[in-house]
């Protein structure tokens, strides 16, 4: 672990893409909830590098969260096995219509 | 249109997420093809602000392309109705196992 090193674009190793489906009439409330929870829980996790919350234009119940992590394990172990993850899911989980679809990606090109 | 203004993060209005499925054994060739085509065609389109090509760790045939556009129409009209789009699809289309899934998103939070 490097202590005191500022995060930079080149630190990014992994992008998580999480696809959420909520009821369209609840999407505004969901966006507010996940925005607050991301700041409170996600962004404080070790290895977190940044995130975006994206609201789909074509599918009114679709929200995509992208998270940049230093490593895969920063997400799958560091965050998911932390007490903060239970808090995070308690806030956003009640909005889900389907289980979220979550996968991890290597960035092959940034242009 | 503002001429001579450098693109900045705050210019970004829309994110396109394109989800591609190719045969796993052809993914390396697809990544090479789409990387070249993105530079040759996509990145030269009016209103283009940046892109990323992401290779999925869990699903070996999945590739996600994210593109930042100044406006929705920069993609749906400016790029898709240009001669460059036909070239772009001629390069990447032969790899598709399924039709690509493409939607557009408003960025509600960047953290």
Instruction: Please tell me the predicted confidence (pLDDT) of residue B110.
Output: 80
Q: Write the pLDDT tens digit of every residue in A38-97.
A: 999 999 999 999 999 999 999 999 999 999 999 999 999 999 999 999 999 999 999 999
Any A CB within 8 A of B103 CB: yes
Any A CB within 8 A of B21 CB: no
At residue B109 the predicted structure's pLDDT band, cuts being 50, 70 and 90, is: confident
Shortest CA distance from B31: residue in chain A = A108
ipTM exceeding 0.90, yes/no: no
Instruction: Please tell me the predicted confidence (pLDDT) of residue B13.
Output: 86
Number of domains comprising chain B: 1
**Residue A2 class from Cβ within 10 Å (0-12 exposed, 13-18 middle, 19+ buried)?**
exposed
Q: CB B97: neighbour CB atoms within 10 A? A: 11
Asked if residue B40 is part of any domain, the answer here is yes
Domain range spanning residue B93? 23-106
pTM: 0.89
Q: How far apart are CA B55 and CA B53, in angstroms?
A: 7
Any A CB within 8 A of B51 CB: yes
**CB-CB: which of A53, A62, A104 is closest to B57?**
A104
Instruction: Please tell me the predicted confidence (pLDDT) of residue B1.
Output: 37
Asked if residue B13 is part of any domain, the answer here is no
Q: Write the pLDDT tens digit of every residue in B55-96.
A: 999 999 999 999 999 999 999 999 999 999 999 999 999 999
Residue B40 distance to chain A (closest CA, Å): 12
Asked if residue B46 is part of any domain, the answer here is yes
Instruction: Please tell me the predicted confidence (pLDDT) of residue A58.
Output: 98
Q: What is the mean pLDDT of residues B51-58?
A: 97
Shortest CA distance from A30: residue in chain B = B108
Asked if residue A34 is part of any domain, the answer here is yes
Q: Do A52 and B109 touch (CB under 8 A)?
A: yes
At residue A24 the predicted structure's pLDDT band, cuts being 50, 70 and 90, is: very high
Asked if residue A58 is part of any domain, the answer here is yes
Any A CB within 8 A of B54 CB: yes
Instruction: Please tell me the predicted confidence (pLDDT) of residue B25.
Output: 98
- CATH code for the domain of A42: 3.30.70.100
Count of A-B CB contacts under 8 Å: 89
Q: Does residue A12 register a pLDDT over 90? A: no
Q: Does residue A98 register a pLDDT over 50? A: yes
């Amino acid at each position: 672990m490097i202590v005191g090193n500022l995060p930079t674009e080149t630190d990014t190793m992994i992008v998580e893409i999480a696809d959420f489906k909520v009821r369209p009439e609840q999407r505004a409330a969901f966006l507010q909830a996940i925005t607050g929870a991301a700041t409170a829980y996600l962004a404080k996790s070790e290895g977190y590098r940044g995130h975006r919350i994206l609201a789909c234009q074509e599918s009114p119940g679709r929200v995509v969260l992208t998270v940049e992590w230093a490593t895969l394990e920063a997400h799958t172990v560091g965050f998911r096995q932390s007490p903060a993850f239970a808090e995070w899911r308690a806030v956003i989980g009640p909005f889900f219509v389907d289980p979220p679809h979550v996968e991890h990606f290597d960035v092959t090109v940034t242009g």
